[in-house]
Amino acid sequence: MNFRSDNTAAAAAEILAALAAANDPHAPAYGEDQWSKQLDVKFGELFEHEVRVFTVATGTAANAIALASLTPPWGKVFCHREAHIERDECGAPEFFSGGAKLALIDGPHAKISADGLREALARSAADIHAPKPAAVSISQTTERGGAYAPGDIAALAEVARDKGLALHMDGARFANAVAALGCSPADISWRAGVDILSFGATKNGALAAEAIVVFDPARADEIARRRKRGGHLFSKGRYAAAQLLAYVDNGLWLSLAGRANGLAARLAEAADPWLSQPVQTNQLFLKPGAERIAKLRAAGVGFYDWGGRECEEIRLVVSWNQADAEVDALAQLLRALR
Amino acid sequence: MNFRSDNTAAAAAEILAALAAANDPHAPAYGEDQWSKQLDVKFGELFEHEVRVFTVATGTAANAIALASLTPPWGKVFCHREAHIERDECGAPEFFSGGAKLALIDGPHAKISADGLREALARSAADIHAPKPAAVSISQTTERGGAYAPGDIAALAEVARDKGLALHMDGARFANAVAALGCSPADISWRAGVDILSFGATKNGALAAEAIVVFDPARADEIARRRKRGGHLFSKGRYAAAQLLAYVDNGLWLSLAGRANGLAARLAEAADPWLSQPVQTNQLFLKPGAERIAKLRAAGVGFYDWGGRECEEIRLVVSWNQADAEVDALAQLLRALR
Amino acid sequence: MNFRSDNTAAAAAEILAALAAANDPHAPAYGEDQWSKQLDVKFGELFEHEVRVFTVATGTAANAIALASLTPPWGKVFCHREAHIERDECGAPEFFSGGAKLALIDGPHAKISADGLREALARSAADIHAPKPAAVSISQTTERGGAYAPGDIAALAEVARDKGLALHMDGARFANAVAALGCSPADISWRAGVDILSFGATKNGALAAEAIVVFDPARADEIARRRKRGGHLFSKGRYAAAQLLAYVDNGLWLSLAGRANGLAARLAEAADPWLSQPVQTNQLFLKPGAERIAKLRAAGVGFYDWGGRECEEIRLVVSWNQADAEVDALAQLLRALR
Amino acid sequence: MNFRSDNTAAAAAEILAALAAANDPHAPAYGEDQWSKQLDVKFGELFEHEVRVFTVATGTAANAIALASLTPPWGKVFCHREAHIERDECGAPEFFSGGAKLALIDGPHAKISADGLREALARSAADIHAPKPAAVSISQTTERGGAYAPGDIAALAEVARDKGLALHMDGARFANAVAALGCSPADISWRAGVDILSFGATKNGALAAEAIVVFDPARADEIARRRKRGGHLFSKGRYAAAQLLAYVDNGLWLSLAGRANGLAARLAEAADPWLSQPVQTNQLFLKPGAERIAKLRAAGVGFYDWGGRECEEIRLVVSWNQADAEVDALAQLLRALR
């Protein structure tokens, strides 16, 4: 019963098959192949907007390259205190940007609100001695499984635009948000004011396929340069592209994410008394007490402690390919612990 | 008849199959999976030496991360004027190292000699005003298809060690060199004095699998950090690892490279009057004159011009999966042009 | 009545005279002159320890270069939330270090305590995904005018050493601390565990003279390189050196700082009802209420608001050359406002 | 007889006096003082153009900050192989720019010509794999004492503009060029197409005063930020400003430089048989043979060997305050060696 993370899950059969299908004897290198070339078209349709799509190896690379293009080295990027870019990327945004700073904002469910952003901006000195506010980065879904509604994002974007800040979205679990919100990809990206989206597929069925989706073509050249210098321009670009094409083909990405979300909802019901966060997507956070945590572990459930020892909080992540039987077993276990 | 580059070639069937075989429903992330964990063991056997193997997305990443760990930001890295790190990485080594400089050395066949290195070192100012000599980087095979013999490397390593410089090898086509030289991997790496090797598999049958092979475990921690910050620590590490394991399993890598080298030798015979470089591996450089170049193009042969208009030099690269028929057809074409 | 900052104050006559005295027709460049060469000797005596002294143009440069030599790019530097390196250097530490992160610790009087550091370290993830704890930086005096006693520093150093962290001291107002504590420079630097000290003279009577004082000679080469690359190796090094020599000669630095501290103490008495921080050195922080603030301004007293509108806190800084009459007038004014 | 470098020379009396005159008890910090504020006005008059003037501590800082604002991290800066930014700044341009590359051009007298630049641009690959041509940097006077005539610069600027490249001038010895050419400062800067000028005063009579002179106000904000982050924003800005104001006041800078040039011309006459470079300004390069070099040294003349042992070339630099007697003595010595 492995609920550690969705990055422990396998690749979807459709995506593996796409690799084989792209295995023509020869194809042009460095993104000139037919699969890479389809990316802008297919994602343009998906997002109902002209886009430029840049594949990279990891979500960290997508975030760091995107942010580096949105802030000068002396800039300040506002994000939630629990953001992946702050906690889990070993300073990649600082490295790629040449030393920009992350300014941390608090807020429930690992979300930042328009008011939270406004206050953080008000606290930011405007003189030459302080880094210059340059961008906002939000995670969709958040590190606590929350999803920003289109209106949440638009409100943030308005505050940002007002101060000349760009808006970045870390969409490592973008599919789970779209599936949960039932909105269109456009509604929670460019239409709500997002400038660049890190579009993740790895956690939801790809092997290793992340994309930087740029909604303003004027930003594309810089992304291309930063990707190349970061060692993220694949020579055999077709394999990353093929994964992404298969991922969005026929709504595969949303059925996979929807399934994970649905299973998580089932677990949420069972774990209801101990939920420490509302369950919107495929992550659950519980505070069931030390004894129950021990019992879950003893029963062979795999998961991570969250946020240090005192708080006795745990995280369960449901993957796209989580076996129904595992979910049922865990649900039963949880009910038995009530 | 595509002879543009070996990075246009498909992935080998064995390597695709390995991806499928690694597709267990769940596996630990970030290199804790069983495939990743086998890497150090298998490569340790292959290299007859304790090694630490770090997968990354591209050869550029392997080179830049390796070099950044071998030079301080104020260091100088000696390499050939035509080196990939100088010409084709858009400044990735400068980016990852925080601004180190490449110092260029000339030499036939894109090789640097011990004497060439000695002279370059003698020209390097030793005071605080000049960057500090820190490392040497050589390409095996070279950008002109040459291969450094074990003795060549040992001679370079001796000069380097004498001055406290580290030795890096860009092995994007390491397999072709091993196959051509008929030596062991150890003979042209650590045994000859190489500190870190960028071990390439992508050009020779993988989808996207490059490795930084570290021969001194004391260097491993820094590589791990730099890889993470560069966005090159795969969450689903098993897929890159599985490619590399399949690649070296049963000598697949050497049969693929050996085949390409052999086909190139066949073409070399046919192109003999115009060879501008000795053909040791899977690359050919010709100066057949403008008329013959036009005829080759007209006949549907794909290749790149090399080094600017005046010189009328072209490069032909034979891939691991080049069809025999294509090679035969090109050889016949070349003979007809004599 | 200018109490805005001690960096508005003039240069001391002794220091101006030293510039003239160093104005020999010719002197070797880049630190080979006799004044620069005396620095290590004189500061060695002052600190009762072998030191290497590197002059730089500003305190920001001293801090950033020192920190960059104490942390890898993927490191984390612990400091107080109000530290100058966090608030007032526009990201210089991030720039010089290649993207290290500052981790903020709270604590009264802008001091961090051994316990505060211990807790921050306990909260720091130790895995590859988080920046690696590398150094601690404290300000002496603090940004709130506090001074760390030798024991405070030793306690911090012990926690730091235990975890392999280096200890840096931002001594932009080091003189004020030594004068206030009545200890030796050694007692609050190397003897208490400080690895590198940013030794400031500019705020206390120099024109522009700051020094990086290195207590471990093994660290000197890296500082020298980073200084050169930062554009802080003066060609006519004698003038910066001459300022520093005059500054410490005959205890000038301590008489100037002692005078400022003493005048501040006089003001502290007058402002006693509203002091928001204990007054140890030459800075006062008051919360006298909006009306009194307005009256002080109307009376021509120059000072800065501190920390945003709501808190109605102000800062008064007494310079080394503050006129007695000004201090008396302000003290009287304050008493009248009771 | 010290002819080692003009950076061994003292400060001019007028400039020392200006420091004393600027020593008001209190003056606003960080460039808000009256002296700093006059810089833009005075230099605007001097250059007959709106300018923004940024003082920094060294010429290396001026060059590196200027270049970093003219090239992206993935850019290429064209300069002469012997340029100070290539040879003598320990990689400061690479550091400040985040890893841009210098592309070296040859040419007599350490000058690059419009043709040389054109050829270097033609050799530069335009694809994503190579750094992008971004700027040109020339030294006025050059590292071999040459001066670019207004037409030389305009020709370079035209080639640069054509390709979208910016033009930077390293004017560490700008005064010597203006004095030698008898032109206006405008003629060899913005009027000829220079975008940013590093304006040096240190070598020609200041203590430590260099300025970045920006001819396009739109570039000023970035320079301000980069200066601050580099630790080059002086808190007591008045002292650097006062030096520069005194330097250009009443043509002091040109009389000092003119004097040095004139004395150098006198020496050139005496050294005529061995001059290896035409003498336009205050530097002389000679190849008098090993025996004569030894005799000069034995006679107590101080100078540097230039460019390695084989070439037996030496450099003599005449400072603004070189004693007439020294020049006469050296001239006599040289004549005696004929």
DSSP letter string over A100-152? -EEEEE--GGG---HHHHHHHHHHS--STTSPEEEEEEEESS-TTS----HHH
| Out of A2, A203, A234, closest to residue B57 by CB | A234
Do C203 and C273 have their domain in common? no
Do B106 and B231 have their domain in common? yes
Kindly state whether residue C5 falls inside one of the protein's structural domains: no
Residue A285 exposed, middle or buried by CB count within 10 Å (0-12, 13-18, 19+):
buried
| Out of A101, A125, A129, closest to residue C94 by CB | A101
Tell me which of A231-235, C123-127, D171-175, D248-252 is least confident. Answer: C123-127
Domain boundary among the residues A225, A250, A275 is at: A250
Q: Model confidence at A309, in pLDDT bands (50, 70, 90)?
A: low
Collect all residues with Cβ–Cβ distance below 8 Å to D276 and sequence separation of at least 6.
D285, D286, D287, D313
Q: What phi-psi label fits residue C305: left (phi over 0), alpha (psi between -120 and 50 degrees) or beta?
A: beta
| Out of A99, A129, A224, closest to residue D128 by CB | A224
Q: Model confidence at B149, in pLDDT bands (50, 70, 90)?
A: very high
Collect all residues with Cβ–Cβ distance below 8 Å to A126 and sequence separation of at least 6.
none
Residues C263, C60, B130: CA angle, nearest 5 degrees: 140
Q: Please determine, for residue B311, whether its predicted confidence score (pLDDT) is greater than 70.
A: no
Residue C91 sits in a domain whose CATH number is 3.40.640.10
| Out of A73, A225, A233, closest to residue D74 by CB | A225
Do A101 and A170 have their domain in common? yes
Instruction: Report the residue count for chain A.
Output: 338
Give the closest residue to D100 by CA, choosing from D123, D130, D120, D80: D130
C-beta atoms of B8 and A19 within 8 A: no
- The token pair at D257 is 């430089």
Q: What phi-psi label fits residue D205: left (phi over 0), alpha (psi between -120 and 50 degrees) or beta?
A: left
Report how far residue C169's alpha carbon sits from residue C232's, in angstroms, rounded to the nearest whole number: 19
Residue D319: its chain C contacts at CB < 8 A? Answer: 26
Q: Model confidence at C307, in pLDDT bands (50, 70, 90)?
A: confident
C-beta atoms of C228 and B98 within 8 A: no
Distance from CA of A232 to the nearest CA of B (A): 7
Per CB distance under 8 Å, which residues of A are interface residues toward D? Answer: 30, 72-74, 98-99, 128-129, 132, 222, 224-226, 228-229, 233
Residue D72: its chain A contacts at CB < 8 A? Answer: 222, 225
Q: How far apart are the first and last CA of chain A?
A: 20
The pLDDT of residue D307:
76
Determine if the peptide bond prior to D60 is cis (ω within 30°): no
pLDDT tens column, A204-213: 999 999 999 9
Domain boundary among the residues B250, B276, B310 is at: B250
What percent of chain A has pLDDT above 70?
Answer: 99
Parallel, antiparallel, or unpaired for β C132-139 and C166-171?
parallel
Q: Cα A104 vs. chain centroid, distance in angstroms?
A: 18
Distance from CA of A102 to the nearest CA of D (A): 16
* Contact between D322 and D263 (Cβ < 8 Å): yes
Q: Please determine, for residue B104, whether its predicted confidence score (pLDDT) is greater than 70.
A: yes
C-beta atoms of B99 and D97 within 8 A: yes
pLDDT tens by residue, chain D, 338 residues: 999 999 999 999 999 999 999 999 999 999 999 999 999 999 999 999 999 999 999 999 999 999 999 999 999 999 999 999 999 999 999 999 999 999 999 999 999 999 999 999 999 988 999 999 999 999 999 999 999 999 999 999 999 999 999 999 999 999 999 999 999 999 999 999 999 999 999 999 999 999 999 999 999 999 999 999 999 999 999 999 999 999 999 999 999 999 999 999 999 999 999 999 999 999 999 999 999 999 999 999 999 999 765 568 999 999 999 999 999 999 999 999 99
Collect all residues with Cβ–Cβ distance below 8 Å to D255 and sequence separation of at least 6.
none
Do D206 and D323 have their domain in common? no
When the pLDDT of each residue in chain A is averaged and rounded to a whole number, the result is: 97
Q: Cα A161 vs. chain centroid, distance in angstroms?
A: 22
Nearest CA in chain B to A239: B207
Do A282 and A317 have their domain in common? yes
What DSSP character marks residue C276?
Answer: S
Do C176 and C315 have their domain in common? no
Per CB distance under 8 Å, which residues of C are interface residues toward B? Answer: 30, 72-74, 98-99, 128-129, 132, 222, 224-226, 228-229, 233
- The token pair at D294 is 């030894």
Do A64 and A184 have their domain in common? yes
* Contact between D202 and D55 (Cβ < 8 Å): no
Residue D74: its chain A contacts at CB < 8 A? Answer: 225-226, 228-229
Average pLDDT of B206-222?
Answer: 97
Residues C243, C245, C248: CA angle, nearest 5 degrees: 105
Per CB distance under 8 Å, which residues of A are interface residues toward C? Answer: 73-74, 87-91, 94-95, 97-102, 122-123, 125, 128-131, 308
What DSSP character marks residue D322?
Answer: -
Q: Please determine, for residue B309, whether its predicted confidence score (pLDDT) is greater than 90.
A: no
C-beta atoms of D91 and B73 within 8 A: yes
Distance from CA of A116 to the nearest CA of C (A): 16
Distance from CA of D266 to the nearest CA of B (A): 31
Give the closest residue to B280 by CA, choosing from B143, B113, B107: B143
Domain boundary among the residues B235, B250, B265 is at: B250
The pLDDT of residue D93:
98
C-beta atoms of B72 and C225 within 8 A: yes
Kindly state whether residue A1 falls inside one of the protein's structural domains: no
| Out of C89, C102, C130, closest to residue A87 by CB | C130
In which domain, by residue range, is D132 found? Answer: 12-250
- The token pair at A303 is 């998961």
| Out of B98, B123, B129, closest to residue D90 by CB | B129
Residue C107 exposed, middle or buried by CB count within 10 Å (0-12, 13-18, 19+):
middle
Q: Model confidence at A307, in pLDDT bands (50, 70, 90)?
A: confident
The pLDDT of residue C210:
98
Helices then strands, each counted (H, E), chain B: 13, 10
The pLDDT of residue B126:
86
Residue B123: its chain D contacts at CB < 8 A? Answer: 308
Residues B232, B238, B240: CA angle, nearest 5 degrees: 50
Q: Model confidence at B115, in pLDDT bands (50, 70, 90)?
A: very high
Nearest CA in chain A to C119: A308
Report how far residue C306's alpha carbon sits from residue B315's, in angstroms, rounded to the nearest whole number: 67
**Optimal mutation site among C84, C204, C232, C319, interface D, most CBs of chain D within 10 A:** C232
* Contact between C92 and D231 (Cβ < 8 Å): yes
Interhelix angle for A13-21 vs A237-248, to 10°? Answer: 140
Residue C57: its chain D contacts at CB < 8 A? Answer: 56-58, 208, 231-232, 234
Give the closest residue to C243 by CA, choosing from C63, C17, C41, C37: C17
The pLDDT of residue B58:
98
Do B216 and B261 have their domain in common? no
Report how far residue B256's alpha carbon sits from residue B326's, in angstroms, rounded to the nearest whole number: 17
Distance from CA of B257 to the nearest CA of A (A): 16
Chains with 3 or more CB pairs under 8 A to chain A: B, C, D
The pLDDT of residue D227:
98
Q: Is C58 helix (H, G, I), strand (E, B) or coil?
A: coil
Distance from CA of A204 to the nearest CA of C (A): 21
Give the closest residue to C193 by CA, choosing from C266, C136, C118, C278: C136
Written as one letter, the residue type at A69 is S
Q: Please determine, for residue B314, whether its predicted confidence score (pLDDT) is greater than 70.
A: yes
The number of domains in chain A is: 2
Dihedral sign of CA atoms B163, B164, B169, B170 in order: negative
Chains with 3 or more CB pairs under 8 A to chain C: A, B, D
Sheet holding A166-171, edge to edge: A52-56, A210-214, A196-200, A166-171, A132-139, A75-80, A101-105
Give the closest residue to A327 by CA, choosing from A251, A271, A281: A271
What DSSP character marks residue D27?
Answer: -
* Contact between A328 and A301 (Cβ < 8 Å): no
Q: Give the pTM.
A: 0.97
C-beta atoms of B233 and C30 within 8 A: no
**Optimal mutation site among C7, C60, C90, C105, interface A, most CBs of chain A within 10 A:** C90
Kindly state whether residue A148 falls inside one of the protein's structural domains: yes
Q: Tally C-beta pairs within 8 A across C and D.
A: 161
Kindly state whether residue B19 falls inside one of the protein's structural domains: yes
Kindly state whether residue D2 falls inside one of the protein's structural domains: no
- The token pair at B4 is 């543009």
Residue A8: its chain B contacts at CB < 8 A? Answer: 26-29
Collect all residues with Cβ–Cβ distance below 8 Å to D269 and sequence separation of at least 6.
D331
Give the closest residue to C198 by CA, choosing from C68, C338, C17: C68
Do B21 and B152 have their domain in common? yes
The pLDDT of residue A314:
96
Do A204 and A290 have their domain in common? no
Kindly state whether residue D4 falls inside one of the protein's structural domains: no
Distance from CA of A76 to the nearest CA of C (A): 9
C-beta atoms of A89 and B11 within 8 A: no
Nearest CA in chain D to C59: D231
Kindly state whether residue A2 falls inside one of the protein's structural domains: no
Report how far residue C333's alpha carbon sits from residue C327's, in angstroms, rounded to the nearest whole number: 10
Q: Model confidence at C57, in pLDDT bands (50, 70, 90)?
A: very high
Three-state SS letters, B201-245: CHHHCCCCCEEEEECCHHHHHHHHHHHHHCCCCCCCHHHHHHHHH
Kindly state whether residue B74 falls inside one of the protein's structural domains: yes
Do C192 and C297 have their domain in common? no
- The token pair at A331 is 């649900």
Q: Please determine, for residue B310, whether its predicted confidence score (pLDDT) is greater than 60.
A: no
Residue A307 sits in a domain whose CATH number is 3.90.1150.10
What are the start-end ranges of the H helices in C22-91? 34-47, 59-68, 84-87
Q: Model confidence at A125, in pLDDT bands (50, 70, 90)?
A: confident
Do D235 and D324 have their domain in common? no
C-beta atoms of D99 and B99 within 8 A: yes
